[in-house]
């Protein structure tokens, strides 16, 4: 059973949100705290690409995910700058 790392799909936003909330709950936080975190832990469909969400997928089941905030770095290489 291999785990595939792949870009998340916008249609998986609800699944990612549920997973984020369950993961936070694992640490014993009470319902009031979890509800206060809901907005921050919610992944909207239109954010999946912008936040560069990646999922760990095994046989069609999402095991985990990560997001990468901010813009990717720009790399500029000038001719002859490598030695």
**CA separation for the pair 37, 65 (Å, rounded):** 18
Q: What was the pLDDT predicted at 80?
A: 62
Whether the pLDDT of residue 76 is over 80: the answer is: no
**What average pLDDT does range 15-30 have in this prediction?**
96
More confident residue, 82 or 29: 29
Per the CB < 8 A criterion, the answer to whether 2 and 34 are in contact is no
Averaged pLDDT score across all residues of the chain: 91
Which pLDDT belongs to residue 70?
A: 84
Per the listing, tokens 């705290």 go with: 33
- Cα–Cα distance, 78 to 83 (Å, whole number): 12
């Amino acid at each position: 059973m291999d785990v595939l790392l792949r870009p998340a799909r916008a249609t998986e936003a609800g699944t990612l949100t549920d997973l984020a909330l369950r993961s936070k709950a694992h640490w014993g936080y009470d319902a009031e705290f979890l509800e206060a975190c809901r907005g921050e832990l919610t992944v909207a469909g239109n954010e999946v690409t912008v936040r560069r969400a990646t999922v760990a997928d095994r046989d069609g089941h999402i095991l985990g995910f990560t997001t990468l905030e901010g813009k990717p770095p720009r790399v500029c290489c000038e001719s002859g700058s490598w030695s």
